[in-house]
Amino acid sequence: MVKYIGKRIIYMFITMFLIATTTFFLMQTLPGSPIASYSKLNDTQKKIVEKKYGIDKPAPVQYAIYMKNLAKGDLGTSFAFKGKSVNDLLASRIKPSFILGAQAMVFGTLVGILLGMLAALRQNTFWDYGSTFMAILGSSIPSFVFASLLQYYVASQWHLLPVGLWNDGWQSSVLPSLALAMGPLALSARFIRTEMIEVMSSDYITLAKAKGANKFEIAFKHAFRNALIPLITVLGPVAAGLVTGSLVVEKIFAIPGIGEQFVSSIMVNDFATIMGTTLFFSAFLIVVIFIVDILYGVIDPRIRLAGGKA
Amino acid sequence: MKNTKWLLLLAMTLVLSIFLAACGGSDDKDNASKDDDSKKDDSATETPKKEDGEPDAEQILNLAESAAIPSVDSAIVEDAVGFNVLNNVNEGLYRLNEENIAEPAMAAEEATESEDGLTYTFKLRDAKWSDGTPVTADDFVFAWQRAIDPATGSPYGPFMMSGTVKNATAISEGKMDKKELGIVAKDEKTLEVTLERPVPYFLSLMSFGTFYPQKEEFVTEKGDAYATNSDNLLYNGPFTLTEWDGTGGSWKYVKNDHYWDADNVKLTEINVNVVQDSATAVNLYQDGKLDRAGVSGDLAMQYQDDPEAVTQAETSVFYFKFNQQKGGKETPLANVNIRKAIAKSFQKEDLADVVLANGSIPANFLVPKDFAYDENKKDFRELSGDHLEYNAEEAKEFWKKGLDELGVDSLELEILGGDTELSKKMDEYFKSQLETNLEGLKIKLKEVPFAVRLELDSSQDYDIQVSGWGPDFQDPISFLDLFVTDGTNNLMSYSNKEYDQLIADSKGDLALKPEERYEAFAKAEKILLEDDAAIAPIYQRGLIFLEKPYFKGLVSHPFGADYSYKWAYISGKE
């Protein structure tokens, strides 16, 4: 197990290195330069600014400098937010995105699992149709539609929660989290239902039933655990996507998150911020995938992580 | 089984009803807002009104900005939000007043101007920074030198000072020491500025953010951290900035008790949040979380007749740029008749009223309306008249003549525009108008993000481009200077010696002859538009806002910063 984890960590670093390299050179192919918008600068100034940000050097040299700084954890200086380090920028923007994503993930998954189980255990009943219906809604309607509907009805019309902004404490996070939660909710409900139905008809469940195990025991102790594995596989990337920010939902609720920052940095060719955000997203995703793999072993001991020797 | 079918039907009905509710959302919203309005009207008549204009006891305002603040360093600021913040937390020698006329601010009285128009002497008033120390002449000298120093990378320093303040050009090119800049502190309260040439609009420049003072000791002490958050700044304006962390989506303005004119500042606090989505802004406004909200896109059309809607005229003018040379070769747009044909072939009224529907007005000019005035306070527009009005018949004649001269019977041209919803809608309109009116013309649309457009513009890789300009100071030359041969915004190979000469004269011989100078501008505008059709004006931009009736005294400016909150107040909210 330790050997497996060690190997995976090395792979993670290699992956990060490859992502950083690819992103760096892809960005060089973007039209325009970070100072393209500095249209009022004269040539002398342009040269000085280019030197200041190190973009006067050939791409390979820039790359070497960037990687050296990256190794020290320095993501560089933003072009758009004058003089601000990308580290600071990410730090200040990530919190709201993280809170929303985490809440959406926890709520969406828990409710989704509940609905899915209910549907599977009460197949072809009102509960089954109801939760299937929710799943269809959640997966077919994009989160921004939910966001607009929630904002309009719950906040604007019924005045139950804030319309937007990030200054009403936890209340500010409820509606955006709900809007974001519909995706994972639908996904979990669908997966759990399908898997549970399949597992419930397998031999070992029949055996458990024959042995006199009660319904609750069968559902949670025997079936649920097996049904969870495929769900975890798909939820990993979903979690990374959610926690690292949803551009549209953040925009609709006027939340100063990382999603909006990422898109606007691309718009103005803010190289350092684009790189920083991409690396942050990637690192998050890689870590989530790693955790998912570890979780497999925890949930189902039959899955051997270290090539059958563990 | 029967039960199952019923349940299925019920589920489907539910789905349908949710979809219908979603689709009907905007109508409901419209009705709801109208209902709200009627309620407001009722309540207004029921409750006894306070004496008109009397300020409330509580003076807290809630506003939205469309973007975060990239910087509040007066030498570095280059965006609308940054200049707006600067204008409300700092102050220069002059400030635009409620009538948008530059009046002494940090200067105690009107500046003395030498007879040749080259030297201005300013006496400073007793004003303080927010740390209680006095604002001195040295603070201006330091700030200006810092803004012109090429090492600072100031986008506006050289742009505003080159060719205006003595030695600015040489310093910005790194050929001279910044200490040689034409600004000297005669004593702690006296400032002398020497110009390169007489600049008739120089005093209005003094209200522009780049010319604000900075306290050397503070800036040096903070180093790289200067102006990166609200604690690392000093303020000498009506408000101080608080709770700004440098990147976040919210901040506050708090009344600055050290401000020299604090007695006339009524607002005690302004909460600002970044709200990018227009629908969200409107919802926040309806919910009472915002006292003013910008309305754009389709919402603008929906709200244009709302009793709380206010239209604000801007001084940005949008026009087609016709590129006459691409890749070293002449384009069909090098032909003046082709340019005139296109310039006259689209209906501007419909565009402004129906497509844009945001208070924009059709433009048959380059220098906007309600912007620049001559000695007799007459709008420059009255002096210069209309050019390149829509006329399909004339357009067709020019088109035929142009095609004959080129020896072709059809042309394919590309319109380069933005990738926003509104830009796309507008481009579609142009395509349909141009192709309908000009037989044999095929228009291709290229809609790209702003950064790409800048790139294509600077490499002159386009046929026709929808471009726009907002002025940085109050003078027609802010617009007309763009199109001199090799001008900064020319980038379309337009060149006319007579035009160049008129612009040069306005800066030289005519600088101290206001009447003749304005005549020269009118002549230049006629050459640019009527004779050469170098560009084709489209519209002067307007904006629609929803504004609470109790929000009074907001001053919007035609150039530089967008707003002054100095005179704003709340009356009748309670």
Residue B346 DSSP one-character state: S
- pLDDT value of position B50: 46
Instruction: Tally Cβ neighbours within 10 Å of residue B495.
Output: 16
- What is the C-alpha to C-alpha distance for residues A240 and A286, in angstroms, rounded to an integer? 9
Note whether A148 contacts B: Cβ–Cβ < 8 A. yes
Note whether A155 contacts B: Cβ–Cβ < 8 A. yes
- What is the C-alpha to C-alpha distance for residues B196 and B118, in angstroms, rounded to an integer? 7
Radius of gyration of chain A (CA): 24
Nearest-CB residue to A251 (from B174, B246, B277):
B277
User: What's the distance, CA B400 to chain centroid?
Assistant: 38
Q: What is the DSSP annotation of A94-117?
A: HHHHHHHHHHHHHHHHHHHHHHHH
Cβ atoms of residues B62 and B291 within 8 Å? yes
- pLDDT value of position B28: 36
Give the contacts of A193 (CB within 8 A, at least 6 positions apart): A115, A116, A117, A119, A120, A128, A131, A132, A135
Contacts of B250 in chain A (CB under 8 A): 165-167, 256
- What is the C-alpha to C-alpha distance for residues B520 and B507, in angstroms, rounded to an integer? 11
Query: Which residues make beta-bridge pairs with B128?
Result: B134
B140: phi then psi, degrees, rounded to nearest 5: -75, -45
Partner-chain contact A124 B4, CB within 8 Å: yes
Name the token pair of B401: 């003549």
Q: Among residues B433, B428, B468, which one has the least CA distance to residue B446? A: B428
Cβ atoms of residues B297 and B26 within 8 Å? no
- What is the C-alpha to C-alpha distance for residues A48 and A37, in angstroms, rounded to an integer? 15
- pLDDT value of position B243: 92
Helix, strand, coil: what percent of chain A each, to 5? 75, 0, 25
Note whether A171 contacts B: Cβ–Cβ < 8 A. no
- What is the C-alpha to C-alpha distance for residues A227 and A219, in angstroms, rounded to an integer? 10
Helix (H, G, I), strand (E, B) or coil at B36: helix
Chain A to chain B, count of Cβ pairs less than 8 Å apart? Answer: 162
Cβ atoms of residues A134 and B14 within 8 Å? no
Cβ atoms of residues B564 and B553 within 8 Å? no
B467: phi then psi, degrees, rounded to nearest 5: -130, 165
Cβ atoms of residues A234 and A198 within 8 Å? no
Note whether A130 contacts B: Cβ–Cβ < 8 A. yes
Cβ atoms of residues B236 and B130 within 8 Å? yes
| Residue that the structure tokens 């989704």 belong to | A112
Cβ atoms of residues B135 and B91 within 8 Å? no
Query: Which parts of chain B sit beneath pLDDT 50?
Result: 1-2, 4, 12-50
Contacts of B14 in chain A (CB under 8 A): 133
Query: Which parts of chain A sit beneath pLDDT 70?
Result: 31-41, 243-245, 301-310
Residue B224 DSSP one-character state: G
Cβ atoms of residues B366 and B317 within 8 Å? yes
Q: What distance, in Å, lies between the first and last C-alpha atoms of chain B?
A: 62
Strand boundaries in B463-517, DSSP class E: 464-469
Partner-chain contact A89 B70, CB within 8 Å: no
Name the token pair of B345: 């072939």
- pLDDT value of position A36: 60
Nearest-CB residue to B7 (from A129, A156, A166):
A129
CA nearest B65 in A: which residue?
Answer: A254
> A163, A167, A263, A274: which to substitute to probe chain B, counting the most B Cβ within 10 Å?
A163
The answer to whether ipTM exceeds 0.90 is: no
Note whether A168 contacts B: Cβ–Cβ < 8 A. no
In order of B125, B321, B348, B409, B448, the CA distances from B536 in angstroms are 47, 7, 11, 23, 21
- What is the C-alpha to C-alpha distance for residues B511 and B201, in angstroms, rounded to an integer? 10
| Residue that the structure tokens 């989530």 belong to | A288
CA nearest B287 in A: which residue?
Answer: A156
| Residue that the structure tokens 């006891």 belong to | B57
Cβ atoms of residues A283 and A16 within 8 Å? yes
- Do β-strands B269-274 and B190-194 pair in parallel, antiparallel, or remain unpaired? unpaired
Residue type at position B438: L
Cβ burial B429-446 (10 Å sphere, 16+ → b, else e) = bbbebbeebbeebebeeb
Residue A217 DSSP one-character state: I
- What is the C-alpha to C-alpha distance for residues A81 and B60, in angstroms, rounded to an integer? 28
- Residue A31 burial by Cβ neighbours in a 10 Å radius (0-12, 13-18, 19+): middle
Nearest-CB residue to A45 (from B150, B277, B452):
B150
B541: phi then psi, degrees, rounded to nearest 5: -70, 140
Contacts of A252 in chain B (CB under 8 A): 277, 279-280
> B232, B283, B416, B491: which to substitute to probe chain A, counting the most A Cβ within 10 Å?
B283
CA angle, corner A228, sides to A223 and A232, nearest 5? 175
In order of A136, B331, B439, the CA distances from B463 in angstroms are 48, 8, 18
| Residue that the structure tokens 């920083």 belong to | A276
- Do β-strands B361-362 and B309-322 pair in parallel, antiparallel, or remain unpaired? unpaired
Q: Among residues B507, B508, B336, B340, which one has the least CA distance to residue B438? A: B340
Nearest-CB residue to A267 (from B7, B275, B451):
B451
Partner-chain contact B11 A129, CB within 8 Å: yes
Contacts of A29 in chain B (CB under 8 A): none
Give the contacts of B540 (CB within 8 A, at least 6 positions apart): B313, B314, B315, B316, B317, B318, B360, B361, B362, B363, B368, B369
Which tens digits make up the pLDDT trace of B320-347? 999 999 988 999 999 999 999 999 999 9
Residue type at position A55: I
Residue type at position B65: E
- pLDDT value of position B26: 35
Which tens digits make up the pLDDT trace of B53-99? 788 888 999 999 988 888 899 998 888 889 999 999 999 999 998 88
In order of B26, B224, B353, the CA distances from A77 in angstroms are 43, 11, 44
- What is the C-alpha to C-alpha distance for residues B184 and B523, in angstroms, rounded to an integer? 38
Which tens digits make up the pLDDT trace of A22-32? 988 888 877 66
What size, in residues, is chain B? 574
Residues B90/B94/B95/B97 CA torsion (nearest 10 deg): 160
User: What's the distance, CA B510 to chain centroid?
Assistant: 28
Alpha helices (H) in B98-215, listed in sequence order = 137-148, 157-161, 168-172, 202-205
Cβ atoms of residues B292 and B548 within 8 Å? yes
- pLDDT value of position A47: 78
Note whether A140 contacts B: Cβ–Cβ < 8 A. no
User: What's the distance, CA B167 to chain centroid?
Assistant: 29
CA nearest B170 in A: which residue?
Answer: A44
- What is the C-alpha to C-alpha distance for residues B417 and B209, in angstroms, rounded to an integer? 30
Contacts of A37 in chain B (CB under 8 A): 450-451, 454
Q: Is the dihedral of CA A150, A152, A153, A158 positive or negative?
A: positive
Strand boundaries in B400-463, DSSP class E: 411-418, 441-448
Strand boundaries in B296-398, DSSP class E: 309-322, 325-326, 329-330, 361-362
- pLDDT value of position B387: 93
Residue B351 DSSP one-character state: I
Helix or strand holding residue B570 (H, E): strand B569-570
Contacts of B25 in chain A (CB under 8 A): 148-149, 152
